[in-house]
Every structure is written in C-alpha cells, then in structure tokens.
Structure 1
Amino acid sequence: MIWDTHAHLDDPRFEGDFQQILENMRLAQITRVTNVGFDLPSSERSVRLAHQHESIYAAIGVHPHDAQGATDATWERLSQLAQEDKVIAWGEIGLDYYRDLSPRKIQQEVFIHQIELADQAGLPIIIHNRDAHQDLLNIVKAHNPKKGGVFHCYSGSWEMAKILLKLGFYLSFAGPLTFKNNRNTVEVAKQVPLDRFLVETDSPYLTPEPYRGKRNEPARVREVVARLGEIRGMEIDEVAQLAFENGNRLFGL
C-alpha cells in the first residue's frame, strides 16, 4: 500500500485520461491519494473528487500565490468544507518568495490566519515553502499548529529540518529526491526519523527520474519510495508501509 499524500488530480491536464490515471494507480499499488487545494475553486473540486472516489481524500486551503485574493467569504466557505468527512488537512498554505505573486506581508498574514482556521477545524496543515525559510520558521515557531503538519516537498537543510522535527512536523519527499546532485534533500532523507516522513508526487508537477519532462501522476510515487529505500537501505514495501502509517498518524485516519 502506497499513499501519495500530495497531488492535484483536479488539474485540467488530467481531464482527458482520468480513468487511466486511476488504473495506473491500481496497477502501481497506490491505494490512497490526498488531493490538495490551492484556492477556493480547487478546494471545492478536491472535496468533490474525494466523495466520488474511495481512494481519494481532500485538503483545502489557499496557496500563497493566491493569498491576496482571499476574502471573508473565502474563509467562511473553506471552514464549511473543513467539516466534510473526507477532508483531512488544511493546505496547501505557506510562503512563496520565489514567484512573489502575492505581497509578502499578505502571504504571512494569510498563512497565520489559515493556521488559526485549521486549529479551529481540528485539522493538520500542509505547508508550501519556497525561498522563505527564515520567515516560515519564525511563523511556525510562534503559531505552531495544534494538530501538527507536514512540509510538502521538503527543500530545506538538515539544520532546518531538525528544528521542524522538534516542533512536531513531518517532512514529505517528492520527485526532486530522485534528481542528480540534489544533495540537501538526500542528506535530510538519510537522517529523518522513520516515523516522521511522507511521500508524494505533487502531480502533475515535479516528475521523478526517469520520467522527467513528462506529466507526473500518482503512480510515479513508487520512484520516490524506491529512491528513499536506496538511501536508507530498506525494501520498497517497508518504506511504503512506514510512510502509510505516518500518514495515518498525522491525518487521523
């Protein structure tokens, strides 16, 4: 059993062959996928997908790219969606200083507000972090989510990881773990406690080797699991089982 804990199957790139994607999952023994929202419409799509497919669960939230467009009505509707029975996390939320599509101060305010909303809903959070390590660390230290959370597609150093682990966070590995010369992520993967890691694809993005350049899909999470097994000297099944158990613990399933 393998759990892709972060995907965007509602993306238009999956419209033409969605049933084939589900079949590929079955053949690859991907038994569970978390479909992650990044704004209100995608969060609503995630919830619909989760209700339509037994293997899919939903996360809801506003990505930092979309932070400046959020309104009181957005938060009210997301809080309603958070009560749906297959919604297991609030995300993806966080900071993105690489593209800066929303002003940084607004990103920070919206991130803090969503941590508070997740606390009210009793949900863990899924964190997006790109080129914003110090500000993000400062925020989660001051506003540590009550139900914990995961740093999706972890890209920071081992020094940062140690701080996050002490705060109770999980670290998730995606396609970049398979990229050549990605020394930082490999170093973290070597040392992360076996009860604090998850695996994901971020489909349709971050396609792992040897499929780089093609659209990603949940079946490809096997490549991440296999690479993690190589790094830790473990069998694929053992890595997959640990990641599945860790997901159950974090997301309350």
Structure 2
Amino acid sequence: MSAVDAHTHLEACGAKDSADVRSMMDRAESAGIGHAITVADDMAAARWAVEASTWDDRVFAAVALHPTRTKDFGDAEREELAELAAHPRVVAVGETGLDYYWDYAPHDAQQDAFRWHIGLSKRLGKPLMIHDRDAHEDVLRILDEEGAPDTVVFHSFSGDVDMARRCVDAGYVLSFSGTVTFRNAGALREAAMVVPLQQLLVETDAPFLTPHPFRGRPNEPYCAAYTLRELADLRGVHVGELATIVTATVNRVFGLGV
C-alpha cells in the first residue's frame, strides 16, 4: 500500500534541485510513501515549493507565511503569496496559525496574518493548514470569529484529548507527525485514539520530529511510514487498512487524486 506525507519541507531537508527532490521521493516511495506535500514557511520557501512541485509528479505544495515570520507582513508579501497560492500545484494555504512558544513575532501581528490567510483560503477554495503551538484557544477562537474554511487541517497536532475532540466536533482534520511515536508523549497518543480514522492524516514535518526508532536523526518523507505503522498499532488496525484510509482522506482534503 502507498500513503502520503501530508506535510514536509523538502528544501529544509536539503533538496536544492529537481535531482534532489527525485532522490528523496524515490526513497519515500520505496518505503511506501508515494507522494508528499512540501510546505513553505517564508517567502523564499514559498517560491521554491511551487517550483519544486513542478519537478516531480509525486510532489505538491502548500504556501503561507509561518506565524513566527509575520512581524513584517506587508501588502507586497500578501500580493505575492496570493498569486503563489493560486498555482494549480498548490493544494493548501499553509502553514499559518499561531506560535506562542517563540517570541519572533508579536501575537497581534500573528493573529492579523492568520486572519488574512483564513480569508485567502476561503477565496481560493483551498484547505487551510494550521500551525498551532501553545496557542490552542486563540487558534480556535479566531477560526470561529472569521468563519473557518470548508477544510481545516491541524498539522503536527499537539493538543490533548479535549482539544482533539473539539477539533473533531468542528469537522477539522488532525495530522500526526513523528511525535506520536514517542513513548513520553502520552497525552498526544491518547488524543490520537479519539480521532475518527477518516479525520486523521500522517506527516513528517521533516526535517524535524523524526519518528522512533530514528529520533534525533534527520527526517525525510520516507519516515512517515514509521509514524503510519505506529498509529496503526495504536489504533489496532492493519497498517495497509490505515494507509488506504489516510490516502482517501488526503484525496478528499487536498484533491490530489493519487
């Protein structure tokens, strides 16, 4: 069976050109990860992600300005991002949201940018891919105030059972990264247990959050296979069945047709 890495950063993994991207995706495909969505976090990465998505049919893109980069987010950046996000190989607006762990951008600047990205997602009719770190309540509040897009994905979900249930009840999709394989991530593993399989995705967030048994080493899309296997064991389903379900969810959410 083949599955999809729903959130990765190929450039940050070290890919510089089409040959690098093909090599990474060949490694991923050999491990059962047939496609990946490479995600931008700044303007340069957004341009690169869109270009990279045209180099290999196994790669799609998502573009936005990461909340930690929103201190200076003017009209020029917004205009360019809107243009990039409209590209046919871009399947989501993201990653956007709030990050209260770092202090690189004031909270009001992050919130203003988040609201703008929500609007862009709705205008384009593309899913919203959310980064939420230590900001659960404000993320949910702003989604309610602005009116959430039809499809919302919480990338590398980091909440507890209560947060997971609130997201599920709102119809949001929760994507789990390698952190769910960590034995000391009890609250996150409990949260993964309450998410309906049809609202669950698997990602690497590479080069970060490498899953067990490779924790501490560089991450790549092929490692999504280990997170998928761990989630299958956790949920008591065959890994092939879960791969089929999450691939169907990816196609429904992002319209990949894979």
Bin for the TM-score computed over the shorter chain: over 0.9
Distance 1:238 1:185 in 2: 22
**Counterpart pick for 2:228 among 225, 228, 231:** 225
2:223 pairs with 1:194? no
TM alignment of 1:1-253, pairs within 5 A? 1-11=2-12, 13-15=14-16, 18-253=21-256
The aligned length equals 253
Report if the CA contact (8 A) 2:153-2:174 is conserved: yes
* Offset of residue 181 of structure 1: 1.9
Q: CA deviation at 1:63?
A: 0.4
Partner of 1:58: helix, strand, or coil? Answer: strand
Contact map agreement 1:58 1:86 (CA 8 A) in 2: yes
Query: C-alpha separation between the residues in 2 aligned to 1:239 and 1:144?
Result: 31
Q: 1:19 to 1:122 in 2, by over 3 A?
A: closer
TM-score, length-normalised on structure 2?
Answer: 0.94
Q: Give the drift of 1:228.
A: 0.4
Taking the aligned partners of 1:208 and 1:29, their CA distance within structure 2 comes to: 16
The alpha carbon displacement at 1:211 in A equals 0.5
Q: Which runs of 5+ in 2 are unaligned?
A: none
Separation in 1 of the partners of 2:239 and 2:94? 28
CA offset at residue 161 of structure 1? 1.5
d(CA) in 1 for partners of 2:69, 2:249? 29
**SS at 2:4 equivalent:** strand
Q: Aligned-pair distance for 1:41?
A: 1.2
- Give 1:205's aligned amino acid: F
Q: For 1:250 and 1:62, how far apart are their aligned partners in 2?
A: 21
Percent identity over paired residues = 36
Conservation of the 8 A alpha-carbon contact between 2:211 and 2:226 = yes
- 2:200 touches 2:246 (CA, 8 Å); kept in 1? yes
Pairwise CA distance, 1:197 = 0.4
- Tell me the distance in 1 between the aligned counterparts of 2:131 and 2:152: 11
| RMSD across aligned positions (CA) | 1.4
For residue 65 of structure 2, give the secondary structure of its aligned residue in structure 1.
Answer: coil
State the SS of the aligned residue for 2:70: helix
Q: Deviations over 1:178-203 (max 9, x none)?
A: 10121111111111111100000001
Aligned-pair CA distance for 1:13: 2.8
- Cα deviation per residue 1:88-142 (whole Å; 9 max; x = unaligned)? 0000001110012100111111101110111111111110011111111211122
Q: Would the aligned equivalents of 1:141 and 1:167 in 2 still touch at CA under 8 Å? A: no
User: 2:94 & 2:21 partners in 1: Cα distance?
Assistant: 23
Instruction: Report the Cα distance in structure 2 between the residues aligned to 1:79 and 1:179, rounded to whole angstroms.
Output: 37
SS in 2 for 1:91: strand
Decide which moves more: 184-193 or 199-208.
184-193
Report how far residue 144 of structure 1 moved: 3.2
Per-residue deviation, 1:68: 1.3
| Structure 1 stretches lacking a partner, 5+ long | none
Query: C-alpha separation between the residues in 1 aligned to 2:21 and 2:144?
Result: 40
**2:99·2:131 contact (CA, 8 Å) conserved in 1?**
yes
TM-score between the two structures when normalised by the length of structure 1: 0.96
